[in-house]
Amino acid sequence: MNNYWYIACRSGQLKSKPLARTILDEALVVFRSSDGNAAALIDRCAHRNMALSRGKVDGCGLRCSYHGWLWDGDGKCVDIPASCQGCETYAKLKVRAYPVIEKQGFVWVWMGAGEAKGEPIDFPNFDEPGWHHWVMERDFEGAAFHCVENFLDVPHTAHVHRGLFRGDESKEVEIEVTSGQDWISAQFLNEERMESLIGRLMFPDDGKIIHTDRFQLPYVTRVDYRITEKRQYIVMSQCTPVSAERTRVYTYMAYRFEPLGRLVRWVFEPLSHVILNQDVTIIREQTRDIARTGEARFVYWETDAIAKGIRDLLDGKSLADRPPERRKIKA
Ligand code: FES
Ligand SMILES: [Fe+2]
């Protein structure tokens, strides 16, 4: 999944020290130069292969820890301390630089060849009046596909998160699946409040719930719950693939819950971590079980809602011409 923007780190994590990050098996160093701009380079000095993340930020660039060569945010060498020649002679020395965009508190890196295309996605309702959010960051021992599939998988909630998220009794719900070139979405048409701890907290007055699950390339998932204009929740995860078996997940949890407002977070944040931990565990177990039994094989059943569509999109198929489809599952 090259040629996409991925989150490398959160803005607040990028201070005076460079950060080592691996995305799609490529070792990167992310740093903030003295003018405040974030930059990303390959984490390997062109001189003798030292990791630049061992170095120090110095003015406009990053100084290697071995012989002190200084690399600017564009990957150009701008100082060789032991050289008697002028900087014009070593300006031809380069390390690979990655396009960077910093917005909404995240540092995004373009992982692709050539010029970056488009912009990173926006997190919805960011800092809008009445809305609040927090961010969770977790490493999953598993492929990004397994993570996105899990985040949009309703039936697992009754098992992995039993009692917490969904109760013992499942009800039949109708879903409508729609899709486009690089996304697929399932809307749950007649979902009722879940008889669980989360259900009772989120939806205290038994209103009708509009629930939508959405996947978007490369590895973005979004779950919306809307009861009224003033009571809405959005759980949006951006998965950064570290390697074939590791994924770093940044989850943006936004909510509007009037009249309580941000107080709600005191209850929901600890609960969200419990749920996330359960998913981290199940994905780790799944990954280890696949490794133990050989190549991964899948059965796609109608209960898997949009998992097959996600797989198709990741395999490069467009879903723009797929007609909307209705089916029923127990949730
Ligand atoms: S290895 Fe980086 S300056 Fe020599
Ligand atoms: Fe889960």
DSSP 285-300: HHHHHHHHH-S-----
How much is the average pLDDT of 316-320?
Answer: 95
User: Please, which pLDDT band fits residue 168 given cuts at 50, 70 and 90?
Assistant: low
Tens digits of per-residue pLDDT, 88-141? 888 789 999 999 999 999 999 999 988 899 999 999 999 999 999 999 999 999
**Same structural domain, 59 and 155:** no
The ligand minimizing its distance to the Cα of 286 is 2
User: Please, which pLDDT band fits residue 301 given cuts at 50, 70 and 90?
Assistant: confident
Q: Ligand 1 pocket test: which of 29, 41, 48 has the largest number of ligand atoms within 8 Å of its C-beta?
A: 48
In a domain, 18, yes or no: yes
* CA-45 nearest atom, ligand 1: 2
**Same structural domain, 139 and 86:** no
- What's the gap in Å between 154 CA and the centre of ligand 2? 8
**Same structural domain, 190 and 299:** yes
Check whether 3 has a pLDDT greater than 70.
Answer: yes
Check whether 239 has a pLDDT greater than 90.
Answer: yes
In a domain, 233, yes or no: yes
* CA-49 nearest atom, ligand 1: 1
Say which residue, 305 or 49, is predicted with more confidence.
49
Q: Which residues line ligand 1 (CB under 6 A)?
A: 45, 47-48, 50, 64, 66-67, 69
In a domain, 247, yes or no: yes
Q: Look at residue 279 and give its three-state secondary structure.
A: helix
E strand or H helix at 243, and its extent?
strand 231-243
**Same structural domain, 173 and 298:** yes
Q: Ligand 1 pocket test: which of 29, 43, 45, 70 has the largest number of ligand atoms within 8 Å of its C-beta?
A: 45
**Same structural domain, 97 and 220:** no
Percent of the chain with pLDDT over 70: 94
* CA-52 nearest atom, ligand 1: 2
How much is the average pLDDT of 222-236?
Answer: 92
How much is the average pLDDT of 299-312?
Answer: 88
With contact defined as beta carbons under 8 Å apart, do 130 and 230 qualify?
A: yes
In a domain, 32, yes or no: yes
**Whole-number pLDDT of residue 195:** 67
Residue where a domain stops, chosen among 45, 77, 111: 111
Tens digits of per-residue pLDDT, 149-158? 999 998 898 8
Q: Tell which residue, 271, 226, 273, 267, has the closest CA to residue 131.
A: 226
In a domain, 126, yes or no: no
Check whether 10 has a pLDDT greater than 80.
Answer: yes
**Whole-number pLDDT of residue 302:** 80
Say which residue, 258 or 80, is predicted with more confidence.
80
Percent of the chain with pLDDT over 90: 70
Tens digits of per-residue pLDDT, 279-293? 999 999 999 999 999
What is the Cα–Cα distance from 272 to 242, expressed in whole angstroms? Answer: 23
**Same structural domain, 27 and 161:** no
- What's the gap in Å between 160 CA and the centre of ligand 2? 7
User: Please, which pLDDT band fits residue 309 given cuts at 50, 70 and 90?
Assistant: very high
How much is the average pLDDT of 237-242?
Answer: 98
- What's the gap in Å between 278 CA and the centre of ligand 2? 7
- What's the gap in Å between 225 CA and the centre of ligand 2? 16
Say which residue the tokens 């996605």 belong to: 121
- What's the gap in Å between 148 CA and the centre of ligand 1? 40
* CA-65 nearest atom, ligand 1: 2
**Same structural domain, 107 and 144:** no
**Same structural domain, 144 and 261:** yes
**Whole-number pLDDT of residue 209:** 83
**Same structural domain, 152 and 295:** yes
Return the residue whose CA atom lies nearest to atom 3 of ligand 1: 67
- The token pair at 201 is 């907290």
User: Please, which pLDDT band fits residue 310 given cuts at 50, 70 and 90?
Assistant: very high
Boundaries of domain holding 178: 132-330
Return the residue whose CA atom lies nearest to atom 4 of ligand 1: 67
